[in-house]
Amino acid sequence: MSYRTIIEPFRIHSVQDIAFPSLEEREAALRRAGYNLFGLHADEVIIDLLTDSGTGSMSDRQWAAMMVGDESYAGSRSFYRLQEAVQDLTGLEEVIPTHQGRAAERILFATTVEAGDVVPNNTHFDTTRANVEYQGAEARDLVIPEGRDPAADHPFKGNMDVAALERTIEEVGAERIPLVMVTVTNNSGGGQPVSLANLRAVREVCDRHGLPLFLDACRFAENAWFVKQREPGHAQRTPRAIAREMFRLADGCTFSAKKDAIANIGGFIALKDREVAARCRNLLILTEGFPTYGGLAGRDLEAIAQGLEEVLSEDYLRYRIRSTEYLGEKCRAAGVPIVWPPGGHAVYLDARALLPHIPAAQYPAQSLAVELYREGGVRGVEIGSVMFGKVNSDGTETPAAMELVRLAVPRRTYTQSHVDYVGEVILAVAERAADLPGYRIVEQAPWLRHFTAIFAPVVDGGR
């Protein structure tokens, strides 16, 4: 069909009410939550773009699959359905379900990473970084320079800097690198894709040094769609064929089924190495559950298996990537700086560019995220120095490479008018950007502080 409007490729079958808290209620909620949007009750939020993780709408086929879930403790039929779906997609024989992505990370890193090791990645996601660091190892981000510049237009800003990877291997020695990871798409770097050519180049370096290559594959289908659209020679291929090629370049992957399996919970590790898989399963039994359910119900395994199939539909991916791009274009047309081009699952507002009067030490992206909620009940998340700033031993902080607010679009959940509303709220906040205050942290945890930190506005520019 030759019409310009790309419509949602589904009808809505069941709906949930949205709450409409007043401005006074939103301000009270902010004060109660210590200006941390993770502390809000979901019913205090009008449009929730905190995450695309576990917030998607399942299809009628997923709900139907859940009804036939087999809840057997050992050898559940639902596990074998999932195992087959994952093996077919990834070509990886060993499939280990986990309750979500970070459980897969913890188990894989506890099994393979030692203190003093270095794990290269294009950009570690927050839980990935934390789980590497928890083993006493260094999580090193090696994305290409364009991936650190919000305004740089590049079709594959998630690519790994292959020369920097070579230099890292030379500097630390292959024996201190247990594995190389590539995150597709690169969430913390703006949801930007990785090209197949780049994955092949990383594979070649890994082969030369005898290093295993793992994908953090949460958004593998969105990445495959970008390859189809942007990488020469792939336009005629199906997303499934591209995804299969991506996985076949890897020795293993971690996966959060809350993203590109459109499930509300779940994850897995898949890998080739039987010996590493056996060690992972031993740890899994200790903390997650028996290896044929890994902390999930049989019905969850069914929903994931079904979702892995649906997510590769061209109609779905065309709509999915277009709806994120639509929000990005709205921001850009209004002169609001964003990471360009828009990512697959989210639009990232560039708070450093929008709020130049707030120094990194006063968390400009936190300020912008708070204001979007105050103004219109829109909840995004800070991806800047609160999340990735490094607290030094003398109490000073090294700021993050970028100060972003991520507006993540849940899958199949909001319609075009919801997105139009979000566009209006962003505009209203941008018009009074110069008046927004900085924030300071009053209380914080030693790891992943952004989830629980308490903030206070900085009054009159002082601390």
Looking at residue 264, its amino acid is N
Give yes or no for residue 324 binding ligand PLP (CB under 6 A).
no
Give yes or no for residue 101 binding ligand PLP (CB under 6 A).
yes
Report the nearest approach of ligand PLP to the CB of residue 416 (Å): 25
Distance CA 201, CA 166 (A): 11
**Under rule CB under 6 A, which residues in 24-53 are in contact with ligand PLP?**
53
Out of 62, 90, 121, 183, name the contact with ligand PLP by CB under 6 A. Answer: 183
Out of 100, 159, 367, 385, name the contact with ligand PLP by CB under 6 A. Answer: 100
Report the nearest approach of ligand PLP to the CB of residue 398 (Å): 22
Q: Which is nearer to ligand PLP, 260 or 302 (CB)?
A: 260
Segment lying near ligand PLP (by CB under 6 A), choices 20-28, 33-41, 96-104, 297-305:
96-104
Segment lying near ligand PLP (by CB under 6 A), choices 8-16, 124-132, 223-231, 333-341:
124-132
Q: Which is nearer to ligand PLP, 387 or 425 (CB)?
A: 387
Out of 55, 57, 187, 195, name the contact with ligand PLP by CB under 6 A. Answer: 187
Segment lying near ligand PLP (by CB under 6 A), choices 98-106, 146-154, 240-248, 371-379:
98-106
Q: Which is nearer to ligand PLP, 296 or 355 (CB)?
A: 296
Distance CA 80, CA 55 (A): 25
Binding-residue pattern over the window 52 to 71 for ligand PLP, x denoting contact by CB under 6 A: -x------------------
Closest to 413 (Cα-Cα) out of 301, 217, 264, 266: 264
Q: Which is nearer to ligand PLP, 218 or 336 (CB)?
A: 218
Report the nearest approach of ligand PLP to the CB of residue 267 (Å): 5
Report the nearest approach of ligand PLP to the CB of residue 101 (Å): 2
Structural tokens at position 183: 């995150």
Segment lying near ligand PLP (by CB under 6 A), choices 38-46, 67-75, 125-133, 270-278:
125-133
Segment lying near ligand PLP (by CB under 6 A), choices 11-19, 100-108, 305-313, 319-327:
100-108
Give yes or no for residue 125 binding ligand PLP (CB under 6 A).
yes
Residue with tokens 């270095």: 118
Out of 127, 135, 367, 385, name the contact with ligand PLP by CB under 6 A. Answer: 127
Residue 253 burial (CB count, 10 A): 26
Report the nearest approach of ligand PLP to the CB of residue 243 (Å): 16
Out of 97, 120, 189, 267, name the contact with ligand PLP by CB under 6 A. Answer: 267
Out of 37, 108, 196, 218, name the contact with ligand PLP by CB under 6 A. Answer: 218
- Contact indicator for 441, 391 with CB cutoff of 8 Å: no
Q: Which is nearer to ligand PLP, 18 or 42 (CB)?
A: 42
Distance CA 445, CA 398 (A): 17
Out of 117, 146, 216, 288, name the contact with ligand PLP by CB under 6 A. Answer: 216
Closest to 182 (Cα-Cα) out of 153, 146, 136, 223: 223
3-state secondary structure string, the chain? CCCCCCCCCCCCCCCCCCCCCCHHHHHHHHHHCCCCHHHCCHHHCCEECCCCCCCCCCCHHHHHHHHCCCCCCCCCHHHHHHHHHHHHHHCCCEEEEECCHHHHHHHHHHHHCCCCCEEEECCCCHHHHHHHHHCCCEEEECECHHHHCCCCCCCCCCCECHHHHHHHHHHHCHHHCCCEEEECCEHHHCCECCCHHHHHHHHHHHHHHCCCEEEECCCHHHHHHHHHHHCCCCCCCCHHHHHHHHHHCCCEEEEECCCCCCCCCCEEEEECCHHHHHHHHHHHHHHCCCCCCCCCCHHHHHHHHHHHHHCCCHHHHHHHHHHHHHHHHHHHHCCCCECCCCCCCEEEEEHHHHCCCCCHHHCHHHHHHHHHHHHHCEECEEECHHHHCEECCCCCEECCCCCEEEEECCCCCCCHHHHHHHHHHHHHHHHCHHHCCCEEEEECCCCCHHHCCEEEECHHHCC
Give yes or no for residue 450 binding ligand PLP (CB under 6 A).
no
Segment lying near ligand PLP (by CB under 6 A), choices 3-11, 94-102, 268-276, 384-392:
94-102
Out of 157, 203, 234, 258, name the contact with ligand PLP by CB under 6 A. Answer: 258
Distance CA 318, CA 310 (A): 13
Q: Which is nearer to ligand PLP, 358 or 404 (CB)?
A: 404
Q: Which is nearer to ligand PLP, 265 or 353 (CB)?
A: 265
Report the nearest approach of ligand PLP to the CB of residue 288 (Å): 12
**Under rule CB under 6 A, which residues in 388-407 are in contact with ligand PLP?**
none
Q: Give the interface with ligand PLP as residue ranges (CB under 6 A).
A: 53, 100-102, 125, 127-128, 183, 187, 216, 218, 256, 258, 267
